[in-house]
Structure 1
Amino acid sequence: MNKKLIALALAALPVAHAMADVTIYGTIEADMESSKTYANGVKDANGKPKAVTHIDDTGSLIGFKGTEDLGNGLKAIWQVEQSLSIDGTTKPANASNSSNTFATRDSFVGLQGAFGKVRIGNLSSFLNSDAGAPDAWIYGNGVNGLSYSSINQLDGRYANSIRYDIPEFVAGLSGAVQYGVDEKSATNKQNVLTVGASYTNSGYFGTFGYQRFANNFDGNKTGNYWRLEGGYNANNILAAAYFGKSNLSTSTDTTLSSFTALTGDLKKKEAGLTLGYTIGAITPKFSYGRVWGASVEGADVKGHLNQYVLGADYALSKRTTAYASYGYVQNAYIANAATGEKYANEHTVAVGVQHKF
């Protein structure tokens, strides 16, 4: 009997060796929030948002990744990553895990070497994977983060794409170019091109990213947006600012769609700032974001948005964080041009927990 057990154990060794380079990782996170926002979709008889209580998954995921050494400095790399909904609620139709498709997040196969890194699959743009420092918040559908910024609204990942990351020719310098092939539209020409670069030195950083969407509106016009970020993130200090512009269809840039019925070519500007300081296990933070200069089909959209977020993270361990945050949006866009009536302001208060494994 013991000999059979030993034989089985020995037979299993090659399998164990083959699996040794596979890493399982993930994040489990959720919050409880009281929120009065247009994004919740709950409105009163006058179309103003009503306060509701939510328990939301704020970004849980599970992933599998690995590498194989091919010799001469060349490696095969792969990853499969999937969104989760631990609150048991079906995600909205535009969420990354709304369908039955597996690998809804960054999933790819590729090669890495002295030439850099090439991946093919479902891949984040450079702005989504390597930028976004100003939006240092954990949140779901509320406004307790920079929810009206392009960091939240536009940065994303693109299926059927290939991405090339440059090698680090200069210490601290990174960059990438990505091309996503359209396989869904009737014209098969709504392709996506993204480029980006970042430089870090002694905690200081600067990042720029640009995305181009072919045939984005009016049948054949190209849409685009870009964002510049900069700041300092070291020695327990976070100071990060951003500025950007966008020119996209309202079906792509949904910043204003939750509270207006405007459709067409949307142009706008955005800027913001986040400050944080870690004291022991606690990191208090503050963010300010602004959206202004909006026009749809060349007609000015009167008003602007100011967003304020205040909160703190508490590190229970290296992998577990508890947090509390409050977000307030001063919505100064005009709902009725004749009367000057403005859209309603929004707010969210939330407490939650995030665990990484």
Structure 2
Amino acid sequence: MNKKLIALALAALPVAHAMADVTIYGTIEADVESNKTYANGVKDVNGKPKAVSRIDDTGSLIGFKGNEDLGNGLKAIWQVEQGLSIDGTTVNASNTFATRDSFVGLQGAFGKVRIGKLSTFLNSDAGAPDAWIYGNKGVNGQSYSSINQLDGRVNNAIRYDIPEFVAGLSGAVVYGVDETNATNKQNTFSFGTTYTNSGYFGTFGYQRFNNNIAGNKAGNYWRLEAGYNANNILAAAYYGQSKLASGTTDATFGFASTTDLPNGSELKKKEAGLTLGYTFGAITPKFSYGRVWGASVDGTDVKGHLNQYVLGADYALSKRTTAYASYGYVQNTYRDSNDNKFSNERTVAVGVQHKF
């Protein structure tokens, strides 16, 4: 029996060696929230958001990645990354795996080329002003005031990252193929670039969505970020504009009711904001302000604006574990088709994040 066990152990050695370059990584995070937001979908008898308590997974994930040295400075690279839901809520109704950035590609002196499901440059390399940990039902993160709302991942995509020709300069181009019909009517294109020097940075990203708006019009979104992130100081600001097809979720921003804003209408809006933070010891207090204004639907201006305020702090329990608390508040002056003002919203959250 012992000889058989030894033989099995020896047989497994080549497999272990072959997997030696595989890295397993991830993030486990969750919080306790008190929410009074439209995103929750819980309303009182007057149709206004009602306060509820939540235990929310705020972005847990697990990933596997690796590479193989092909010689002459060339490497094969790959990654499979999957979103998790440790609170028991279904986040993957399609029952697919690799819901986050997953790819195979090559890397060398020419840069990096990847094929798969890939982030736009704004999603992977920008977002410094949104320095918060939060879920998708609260208003304690700046995605509610538009930043990062349009950042995301592209299915059926190819991405090229440029080599660092100049120290501190990086950039990428992403093209996504629409496979829902034979004519590829809704292909997407995006690019972005960042320059950093001594803690100062500037980032620009642009996305184009073919046939996004009714009448086969293309939609687009762009954002500019700038600031300083070094020596325990974070000071970051952003400005952006979007022209995209409206959807039923836009009604929660107050641009109109879902009946007044049918899917496919041309919805334009502007966004801007800033974040300030300072780390002393293990504590990082932060404050963010975001604003959405200048909205129009099919060329008709929509009166109103949206202001968002987020205040909170992170506490580093270790290099990999962070406890945090945050409070988000949204002031909404938009009105629906019956001239009813949309309610203000708020979220209070306390949570923990661990990276491995």
Task: Flag whether TM exceeds 0.5 (same fold).
Answer: yes
Aligned-pair CA distance for 1:48: 1.1
Change (3 A) 1:115 1:186: closer
Q: Unpaired runs of 5+ in structure 1?
A: 92-96
The answer on whether the counterparts of 1:193 and 1:211 sit within 8 Å (CA) in structure 2 is: yes
1:16 Cα deviation after fit: 1.1
Moved more, 190-199 or 258-267: 258-267
Percent of residue pairs identical: 83
Contact 2:39–2:252 (CA under 8 A) maintained in structure 1: no
> How many residues matched?
349
What's the counterpart of residue 172 of structure 2?
176
Match of 2:26 in 1: 26
Q: Does 1:115 align with 2:105?
A: no
The structural deviation recorded for 1:162 is 0.2
1:171-227 residue CA offsets vs partner (Å, 9 max, x unmatched): 110000010000125753100000000001111110000000000011310000000
Amino acid at match of 2:233: I
- Inter-partner Cα distance in structure 1 for 2:93 and 2:316: 31
2:14 partner SS = helix
RMSD between aligned residues = 1.6
Determine the structure 1 residue equivalent to 2:245: 249
Check conservation: 1:148, 1:291, Cα contact below 8 A: no
User: Equivalent residue for 2:274?
Assistant: 273
Secondary structure at the aligned position of 1:334 is classed as: coil
Distance in 2, matches of 1:185 and 1:271, equals 36
- Residue of structure 1 aligned with 2:191, choices 192, 195, 212: 195
* Paired residue type of 1:135: D
Instruction: State the partner residue of 2:83.
Output: 83
Counterpart in the other structure of 1:101: 96
- Structure 1 range deviating more: 47-56 or 66-75: 47-56
Deviations 1:249-271 (A, max 9, x none): 013x9555465322311000000
Matched-pair contact (CA < 8 Å) for 1:128–1:151: no
- CA displacement at 1:324 relative to structure 2: 0.4
In the alignment, is residue 330 of structure 1 matched against residue 326 of structure 2?
no
Aligned partner (choices 135, 150, 153) of residue 154 of structure 1: 150
Q: Distance in 1 between matches of 2:204 and 2:81?
A: 26
Unaligned runs of at least 5 residues, structure 2: none
Q: Which residue of 1 aligns with 2:236?
A: 240
2-side partners of 1:151 and 1:71: how far apart? 41
Paired with 1:147 and 1:72, the residues of 2 have a C-alpha distance of 43
Secondary structure of 2:336 counterpart: strand
CA 246–112 in structure 1, closer or farther in 2 if over 3 Å, else same? same
Query: Which sits farther off after the overlay, 327-336 or 16-25?
Result: 327-336
CA distance in 2, matches of 1:330, 1:112: 46
Query: 1:5 Cα shift?
Result: 3.9
Contact 1:128-1:156 within 8 A present in 2 as well? yes
1:240 is paired with a residue whose SS is: strand
Sort the Cα spacing of 1:347 and 1:257 in 2 relative to 1 into closer, same or farther, 3 A: closer
1:11 match: 11
Whole-Å Cα distance in 2 between the matches of residues 3 and 222 of structure 1?
Answer: 68
Match of 1:38 in 2: 38
Task: Quote the offset at 1:342 in angstroms.
Answer: 1.9
2:232 is aligned with what amino acid? N
Residue 303 of structure 2 is matched in structure 1 by: 302
Cα distance in 1 for partners of 2:93, 2:238 equals 30
Instruction: Give, in angstroms, the shift of residue 275 of structure 1.
Output: 0.4
Match of 1:56?
A: 56
What's the CA shift string for 1:281-339, capped at 9, x where partnerless? 110000000000000111111100000000000111111111000000000112357x5
How many Å separate the matches in 1 of 2:226 and 2:250? Answer: 23
1:347 is aligned to 2:349:
no
Residue pair 2:56, 2:87 contacting (<8 A) in 1 also: yes
Q: Distance in 2 between matches of 1:186 and 1:274?
A: 44
Note if contact 2:38-2:252 (Cα within 8 Å) is conserved in structure 1. no
Question: What CA distance in whole angstroms lies between the structure 1 residues aligned with 2:27 and 2:240?
Answer: 30
Q: Indicate how the Cα distance of structure 1 residues 212 and 81 shifts in structure 2: closer, same or farther if over 3 A, else same.
A: same
Report the equivalent of 1:94: none
Contact 1:225 1:246 in 2 (8 A): yes
Asked whether 1:128 is paired with 2:123, we answer yes
